[in-house]
Amino acid sequence: MLNKLAASELVLNEDGSVYHLNLLPEDIAEKIILVGDPDRVAKVSKYFDKVEVKKNKREFYTHTGTLRGERITVMSTGIGTENIDIVMNELDALVNIDLKNKEFKAEHSALQLFRMGTCGSVNPDVQVDNMLVTQNVVGLDGLMHFYQDYEFENEFSKNFLEQFPYPKIKPMLYFADWAEELGELYKDAKYHGNTATFPGFYAPQGRQLRLKAVDDKFLETLNNLGVTNFEMETSAIYALSKLLGHKAITVNNVIANRRRGEFSADHHTSEKNLIEWVLERIIK
């Protein structure tokens, strides 16, 4: 009885689906592509042989079907790590919790998660319209402060934490421990970078329209500490995957070079290239 979850903790819809994603266990594949933009879901699933499931609620759009005979899901997460908190916990509930009895399953199931996103580079030499796989990620968003976290340290994290000069922000670092198993998806990426994940697009990423950011030199400072690119989801995807026992990797298309002030000349074509590049490498 003790591990039976209360109705307030594991919230379900009337049809028994998980509350925000609006999905039943049979609606998802083991291989899941996560994209930020809800419009990107149909742009991905149009390559599937067939789409069997189409469901949505709020910003969470899901299509499941087959590609070259293999079952696959593509789902939008919307923007930000607070949405990733929902996506990761509800995806995990779909495979590791008996939703009818609200009890943990005895056998653990691991999902394979591929974030297919966009990012801005802060290394002047990292060029737009290329694929960047996240090797290490610096979480500057704060989500993981609310979980009992896992200890992680490598050369990059040690150097980064020793030199990080903003005392009010507490970074949490993670890394891609799945990379070696990924073959071409990992090897063929033009860049293997250190990604910083932020809780915003403007001042948190050093953008100043009418408001000033804390530091004019934010981009240079992070780049000098080894950060290659900025986005808004990967820290939570890597950390929660590790804690929940799933495998995750992020491939971002670089659409902006912040140091050179450049934006992709044709980000629609760039997005199409990203989709085709990833699909070709995750299903043979």
Residue of the chain from 139, 231, 235, 279 that contacts ligand R1P (CB under 6 A):
231
Name the residue among 125, 137, 166 with its Cα closest to residue 230. 137
Size of the site for ligand URA (CB under 6 A): 10
Which one of 41-49, 89-97, 114-122, 141-149 is the stretch in contact with ligand URA (CB under 6 A)? 114-122
- If phi over 0 gives left and psi between -120 and 50 gives alpha, with beta otherwise, what is residue 186? alpha
Signed CA dihedral, 238, 241, 243, 245: sign only: negative
User: Closest-CB residue for ligand URA?
Assistant: 120
Query: Which H or E element spans position 88?
Result: helix 81-96
User: Residue 238 binds which entry of ligand R1P, ligand URA, none, with Cβ cut-offs from 5 to 8 Å by kind?
Assistant: none
Signed CA dihedral, 191, 196, 198, 203: sign only: negative
Alpha-carbon distances of 194 from 101, 231, 251, rounded to whole Å = 42, 11, 12
User: Residue 22 binds which entry of ligand R1P, ligand URA, none, with Cβ cut-offs from 5 to 8 Å by kind?
Assistant: none
Q: 234-244 and 81-96 helices cross at what angle (nearest 10)?
A: 30
User: Closer to ligand URA at the Cβ: 119 or 137?
Assistant: 119
Residue 139, interface with ligand URA (CB under 6 A)?
no
Dihedral in degrees, nearest 10, Cα atoms 132, 135, 140, 144 = 130
Distance between CA atoms of residues 76 and 61, nearest Å = 5
Residue 37, interface with ligand R1P (CB under 6 A)?
yes
Residue of the chain from 5, 59, 201, 221 that contacts ligand R1P (CB under 6 A):
201
Distance between CA atoms of residues 273 and 279, nearest Å = 10
User: Closer to ligand R1P at the Cβ: 97 or 122?
Assistant: 122
Residue 90, interface with ligand R1P (CB under 6 A)?
no
Residue 138, interface with ligand URA (CB under 6 A)?
no
User: Residue 233 binds which entry of ligand URA, ligand R1P, none, with Cβ cut-offs from 5 to 8 Å by kind?
Assistant: ligand R1P
Q: Which residues bind ligand URA (CB under 6 A)?
A: 118-120, 201, 205, 230-232, 255-256
Contacts with ligand R1P by CB under 6 A lie at 35-37, 79, 117-118, 201, 231-233
